Amino acid sequence: MSIVDLITLTLKISILLTLFGFALQVSVHDVTSLFHHPARLLRAIFAMNVVMPVLAVLLALQLNLRPEIEFIIVAFALSPMPPFLPRTQVKAGGDTALVAGLLTASSLCAVVVIPVAMLLIEALLSRPPVVPVGRVAVVVLTSVLGPLLTGLAMHHLGPQLAVRLVKPVTALGMLLLAASGLAIAAGSFRAMISMTGDGTVVAIAAMVATGLVVGTILGGPKADDRTVLALATAARHPGVALAVTSANFADQKTLLNATLLYLIVSVLMTTPFALWRGRRHAAEKPTPLTRKAT
């Protein structure tokens, strides 16, 4: 096994552990909660799977980017919520049930939405796209639904053990995620820097910023719910986006570097927003004295 393979494997394991640690804290009711609130569900689907893909296509048509970069921007806009995002959403004040429900709903929708959307935008592309439905389903199953359902089962069958495992599993996942992410970024640093002058970074930043705005507007009346949808709309699953684009272009190295660049820009832009919303949530949270006064 090469160093690159080892780093990639470590990254995959870290993502699985991070989501598994979150799933140990949720119930069946949490995972299915969004399906019991049709208005919430429809707003989320509209924001993530309608508004963002349309804006991505319009942006791709306006900017003079390489075809593979245009394609990956659209692919990200179609991808579900990433499996490492729930912890950030909860720390930013989001409700655990909403986060779990949105992760499940967006993942299931992606398997259907991506093929349909690709057929709809076929007329805007120079050639018909290849839609790897099987690969998308495998990525969603192994990186999202698998660890989510495993953690959910353990939470149900052994709640005491699940509680004890949350901290060590999450800590190990975050440690491996940081280490592998830094290693991959360092190895691809020069290639990613070369993309900063051709409009790629501007396009990615525009999409992430737009996602934060769209999610905030469509997130509903509660501020914390808007935070959850804003982060989910702005940050998307890199594995799904890469699976879609790699089936359509031969230059796998460029696609990987563009995917990493999108992920880095997304993290750099969504983290300050999440920290700000977390501070606002903590400041607005009722204290024992304010509860007694009311």
Predicted confidence band of residue 130 (pLDDT cuts 50, 70, 90): low
Tens of pLDDT along 224-238?
999 999 999 999 988
pLDDT score of 119 more than 90: no
* Domains, the chain, ordered by start: 3-274 (1.20.1530.20)
Distance CA 76, CA 67 (A): 14
pLDDT bin (cut points 50, 70, 90) of residue 89 is very high
How many helices and strands in the chain, by DSSP H and E? Answer: 16, 0
The residues, ordered by sequence, that sit 6+ positions from 189 with a Cβ below 8 Å of its Cβ are: none
What pLDDT sits at residue 159?
87
Structure tokens at 107: 């993942």
DSSP assigned state of 64 = -
User: Quick one: pLDDT band at residue 91, thresholds 50, 70, 90?
Assistant: very high
Per-residue pLDDT tens over the stretch 43-66: 999 999 999 999 998 888 888 788
> According to the model, what pLDDT value does residue 289 have?
46
- pLDDT band with cut points at 50, 70 and 90 for residue 294: very low
State mean pLDDT over 150-179: 88
The pLDDT, as a whole number, for residue 4 is 61
Q: What is the DSSP string of 145-200?
A: IHHHHHHHHHHHH-HHHHHHHHHHHHHHHHHHHHHHHHHHHHHTHHHHHTTTTTTH
- Tell me which of 36 and 194 has the higher pLDDT: 36
Predicted pLDDT at 293: 47
